[in-house]
Chain A
């Protein structure tokens, strides 16, 4: 039998090795899954890689997917560090998209582009923050489990979006498709690299990372977050207001997810529709974990998983391999990451039955 023995010190290489091995394990199991269907996994992975990193355009598409991941994950890091489980980034993202779309669709008259975009950015952040604060307040006042409420609010947000798209906000000339009118030009984020879909949203994302990094590493708020995350009782004892910090953290988290929703409709789609980035909310949880809740590593991890998402979409079209493979690879990677955390604090020892 084996057993675990506590380590006094975690070897540094292990921290770097675990995410890499986890990702490789995800890819390996994914390969087996593909093999069962009779397709050569190496060809699929080659396609995946080329569609993610093989050319400047492919890489730019990867970055397009990485932007919302960076935005959402930066926010999640703040609350995950306090052991508050915001699983509702998807709903907050949708609310951000809806709130900003409202101004693009119905209040764009006479506003210049910078003003319009500023209004949309603020609206999206407010929308996302409101959607995140509902479960937060329920948690604080009545101890309602935030995992379940944030998750349910994802579904509720999705059906609000559907209601709008099939009903009041529907584009009358969309031939029955559930989408809104196209935004006016003033409501569209400017592209920064010609020939790609990369907008100034990438600057929002990097700014978000820097702000969160500063908050966590340098600010008083970051110190309080650390204490709360490790021992909420000690935090109370030290006079830290746990609730206040959770509210601030969730507001940041919701606002950044909302902003991600805005960058999607205003930067990529240019109208509101039912299908907007459904997976970012969940993928960002994996990104946060693989980055050890560190904002700077998040950028790298987001590019990696952005590539997986972007490449996954491409091969679904070009090679007819289901996008489900991305979920499989992601989930195995996450399983492996969570399972492997034990090796940071323990090492495996083998013992024969007798001694």
Chain B
């Protein structure tokens, strides 16, 4: 039994660590589907993580913290939306600016919060029936509410993308904005909406990190997870369900790395900490090769500003 429980803890932690990546990956998928490349995920996550932490700390309510972090991420994304949609600026550079902004903002205001720890964090809520399924129950259904929310988000977003008018409009705008406009769809509204959504979810990933997974504040606590999420978008080939697989894969690397460190391995910690980046690096190469050979294309309008014809 004890032997089994190590694995159950590992896999349960995999789901938790994966959730941090899952939210931003889904968010970025939808922003990119609308044609907006937002490289500011890392910055939005940091802002979400920081605001989430501060609000959870002061209200002593992790749910309030999570919600605040989500909103903060959303507001941060609006800067990028304004620059890349209304002002048609270079999306790569604007996204990088957002990442620098997130770092600067949280370093500046986070100075006095460093090393503080939350007293109230998200706690697991067992789902009756489901949680008693052997293994599966303990791994997937003995988690906190935000993890359950992430399951719902994956399913709902998949449904919206492929089955509804909302998703149709989104796909049309990302593949051929001019045609979408000619059919009476407001390209600007769709893009603003989904960029904001991407920001909300990036905020959610960050806030989940500081209200559940690592309930303390450190400068740069997201440690590149935003970039891993952006790489996962390619791994997922812009599909929300595949994003789940990718996020858990990297959640697994994180959890494993954590477990090894806790059990006192001889592998140097620098090498352990490098694992997720090496892993992402390899995965992005493999996914790119698959994308290229199978002729799966990124959204055609990705990164291209939409210019409604001169009126």
- Asked if the two chains touch in their complex, CB atoms less than 8 Å apart, one says yes
Chain A contacts to B: CB under 8 angstroms: 3-6, 33, 37, 85, 87, 138, 142-145, 147-149, 151-153, 155-156, 159-160, 162-163, 166-167, 282, 285-286, 289, 322-332, 334-335, 338-342, 351
Q: Does the CB pair A339–B224 fall under 8 Å?
A: no
Query: A148-B231, A156-B274 given as contacts; is B88 within 8 A of A142 (CB)?
Result: no
Kindly state whether residue B109 has any CB partner on chain A within 8 Å.
yes
Q: Does the CB pair A142–B289 fall under 8 Å?
A: yes
Q: Mark B105-118, 1 if CB is under 8 A from A, else 0.
A: 11111110000000
Interface of B is mostly: helix
Shortest distance in angstroms between B290's beta carbon and chain A's nearest beta carbon?
A: 10
Within 8 A of A (CB), among B88-132: 88-90, 92-94, 96-98, 100-101, 103-111
Kindly state whether residue B230 has any CB partner on chain A within 8 Å.
yes
Which residues does chain A contribute within 8 Å of B271, judged by CB atoms?
159, 163
Query: A143-B288, A328-B104 given as contacts; is B227 within 8 A of A167 (CB)?
Result: no
A160–B94 CA distance with the chains assembled, in angstroms: 29
Which residues does chain A contribute within 8 Å of B111, judged by CB atoms?
322, 324
Query: A85-B92, A152-B280 given as contacts; is B108 within 8 A of A339 (CB)?
Result: no
A328–B97 CA distance with the chains assembled, in angstroms: 9
Which residues does chain A contribute within 8 Å of B96, judged by CB atoms?
87, 282, 285, 334
Q: Does the CB pair B98–A339 fall under 8 Å?
A: no
Residue of A with least CB distance to B276: A155
Q: B101: which of A5, A145, A285, A332 is its contact (CB, 8 Å)?
A: A332
5 closest A-B pairs (Cβ-Cβ)? A327-B104, A324-B108, A324-B107, A331-B101, A159-B274
Q: A335: which of B97, B227, B230, B289 is its contact (CB, 8 Å)?
A: B97
Range class of the B interface residue count: 35 or more
Within 8 A of A (CB), among B289-305: 289, 291-292
A166–B110 CA distance with the chains assembled, in angstroms: 28
Q: B281: which of A4, A156, A286, A335 is its contact (CB, 8 Å)?
A: A156
Kindly state whether residue B168 has any CB partner on chain A within 8 Å.
no
Kindly state whether residue B39 has any CB partner on chain A within 8 Å.
yes
Q: Does the CB pair A163–B270 fall under 8 Å?
A: yes
Given A145-B234, A338-B89, 4 more contacts at CB 8 Å?
A: A148-B231, A322-B111, A325-B104, A331-B97
Which residues does chain A contribute within 8 Å of B292, judged by CB atoms?
142-143
Q: B269: which of A87, A155, A166 is its contact (CB, 8 Å)?
A: A166
Q: Does the CB pair B93–A149 fall under 8 Å?
A: no
Kindly state whether residue B149 has any CB partner on chain A within 8 Å.
no
Query: A3-B311, A152-B227 given as contacts; is B88 within 8 A of A335 (CB)?
Result: no
Contacts between chains A and B (CB distance < 8 A), count: 146
Kindly state whether residue B87 has any CB partner on chain A within 8 Å.
yes
A68–B100 CA distance with the chains assembled, in angstroms: 19
Which residues does chain B contribute within 8 Å of A340, judged by CB atoms?
87
Shortest distance in angstroms between A335's beta carbon and chain B's nearest beta carbon?
A: 5
Kindly state whether residue B268 has any CB partner on chain A within 8 Å.
yes
Q: Does the CB pair A159–B270 fall under 8 Å?
A: yes
Which residues does chain A contribute within 8 Å of B6, judged by CB atoms?
none
Kindly state whether residue B249 has any CB partner on chain A within 8 Å.
no
A-B pairs with beta carbons under 8 Å apart, 19 shown: A85-B92, A142-B288, A143-B292, A151-B227, A152-B224, A155-B227, A159-B270, A159-B274, A162-B273, A163-B271, A324-B107, A329-B104, A330-B104, A332-B101, A335-B83, A338-B87, A339-B89, A342-B87, A351-B311
Query: A138-B285, A156-B277, A341-B89 given as contacts; is B227 within 8 A of A282 (CB)?
Result: no
Residue of B with least CB distance to A340: B87
Which residues does chain B contribute within 8 Å of A152, judged by CB atoms?
224, 227, 231, 277, 280-281, 284
Kindly state whether residue B245 has any CB partner on chain A within 8 Å.
no
Q: A148: which of B93, B227, B311 is its contact (CB, 8 Å)?
A: B227
Residue of B with least CB distance to A282: B100
Q: Does the CB pair B89–A166 fall under 8 Å?
A: no
A328–B107 CA distance with the chains assembled, in angstroms: 9
Shortest distance in angstroms between A155's beta carbon and chain B's nearest beta carbon?
A: 4
Shortest distance in angstroms between B234's beta carbon and chain A's nearest beta carbon?
A: 7
A324–B292 CA distance with the chains assembled, in angstroms: 40
Which residues does chain B contribute within 8 Å of A153, judged by CB atoms?
281
Q: Does the CB pair B277–A159 fall under 8 Å?
A: yes
